Amino acid sequence: NDTLYSGTLAAASEAVANGHKAVALSTYYYSFEGVEKGLDTVKEYFDKNKLLDLCPLYNVNIPFDKKGIKITRKGLFYYHDVFIADGENMYKQYTDFKYELTDDLGIDYNAVMSDFISISPFNIDKTDYETLNKLIK
């Protein structure tokens, strides 16, 4: 669910909302070396498979080491924040990551943690159509 907080994906979504095609590229916060080494591979894959003709918005995550590329869907992990008192009227925030890594490389986080570049097609419509169809019948 990092995509809910991603400024990178928000900027790409804004481009799509304004009629452009966009790719949100992410990597580890502590090093851009993974992107530098993987960007040509991603571009070649997009061009060869004409991905931007299929969907105008993609979220791409590039790990430091790369075994290849996986087409993925968004995973459903989340963060659990805890605030612990630290003096009078002071609190420290601690964040605990909640996700069980599985062998399903069709999920973006599993693919990236297994050293694959993750490419996920997105759209800017967040409507839950399954529920919508149940509610309007």
Distances (CA, A) of 112 to 69, 106, 119, 137: 9, 10, 10, 40
- Find where tokens 């290849």 sit: 68
> What proportion of the chain, given as a percentage, has pLDDT over 90?
49
- So what's the pLDDT on residue 97? 64
**CA–CA separation, 62 vs 26, rounded Å?**
6
Question: What mean pLDDT do residues 20-36 have?
Answer: 83
**CA–CA separation, 76 vs 36, rounded Å?**
28
Q: What is the pLDDT of residues 75-88, one digit of tens each?
A: 876 667 788 888 88
Question: What mean pLDDT do residues 116-122 have?
Answer: 95
- So what's the pLDDT on residue 15? 96
SS3 category, 66: coil
User: Which tops the pLDDT comparison, 43 or 99?
Assistant: 43
- Strand residues in 1-137 grouped as ranges (E): 22-26, 57-61, 68-71, 78-85, 91-98, 116-122
Distances (CA, A) of 125 to 57, 79, 87, 110, 133: 11, 24, 44, 24, 15
Cβ atoms of 73 and 131 within 8 Å: the answer is no
Q: What is the pLDDT of residues 34-76, one digit of tens each?
A: 677 789 999 999 999 999 999 999 999 999 888 999 999 988 7
Please give the mean pLDDT across all residues of the chain: 87
**CA–CA separation, 9 vs 2, rounded Å?**
10
